[in-house]
Structures are given as C-alpha cells and as structure tokens.
Amino acid sequence: MHPISLLQNQLVAALKADAALAAIIGNGVFDAPPKGRAAPYVVIARHDVIQRDGDLTPGQEHRVLLHCWSDQPSRTRALDMVERVVAVAVGLVGAGLVVTHAEHVRTETDIDSKTGNARAAVTLRFLSES
C-alpha cells in the first residue's frame, strides 16, 4: 500500500476515535470532501509526499492539509477542531507505517463567502518509515 494511503488511514482512524473531536463534529472525519454533507466536519484536502530514504529503510516526508469546517460564522468553533486535530496528529501511531516525527506547521482561518461559516486550514508535517 502507498505511504499516502497508509498515513491517511491511520490519521482518519485516530481522528474518528477521538472522543473530544467527535463531541464537536459527530461522525464527521473524511479523507475526501463529502458530497452534500453539512458542516461541521474535518476533511483531508491535500496530501503530498516526498521520498526521504535513509541508509537502511525507506522514508517519507508528508505534508497534509486538513480543512476544519465549522457550522458557525465564528472562528472559535473551527479552532476548537484544530486543537483536537493537532493533538491527535502529533501523537499518531499505527500499524503499517512508522511515524517518526509529527508537527503542526501552520493554521489559517477564513469565513467562507458562500456559506458564511468559518473554516480553518491546518498543515501538518510527518516523517515516516515503511
């Protein structure tokens, strides 16, 4: 399985298992934008990988962009989601892909002009070995 799929599966499973995030968004974690789903939810918007092989093992650097969509015009709700997403991501573990480093790189917020709801874009960086 490709390292992107392995990391996404681990990340989505970990986010779905987080009780604090579920209290905010319910069953609203997706690895692709949901069709017809009303906010709130978290979705993986982009996932890029660069091969960073070591001497003895294949390695990867992942950049993952998640969108945290609020059902309110307040950034506070979107940032509540960001807090949980970052907390889960930096502690990510799972089978199949060994995450050796995880960090929060950046968060951007805006108010969507179509819906009037807040959105936070969270960029995460992972180093992994397969």
C-alpha 19/C-alpha 82 separation (Å) is 14
Distances (CA, A) of 29 to 17, 51, 97, 106: 10, 27, 20, 20
Domain limits for position 67: 3-76+83-129
Q: Provide the number of structural domains found in the chain.
A: 1
> The CATH number of the domain where 123 resides is what?
3.30.2000.30
Per-residue pLDDT of the chain (130 residues; tens, 9 = 90+): 899 999 999 999 999 999 999 999 999 999 988 999 999 999 999 999 999 987 788 899 999 999 999 999 989 999 999 999 999 999 988 767 899 999 999 999 999 999 999 999 999 999 999 7
The beta-carbon contacts of 47-56 under 8 Å, at least 24 apart in sequence, are 47/4, 47/7, 47/8, 49/3, 49/4, 52/127, 54/129
- What tens digit of pLDDT does each residue of 29-46 get? 999 889 999 999 999 999
Pairing mode of beta strands 29-30, 41-51: parallel
pTM for the model: 0.93
CB 43 within 8 A of CB 33: yes
Which tokens sit at 103?
């960090």
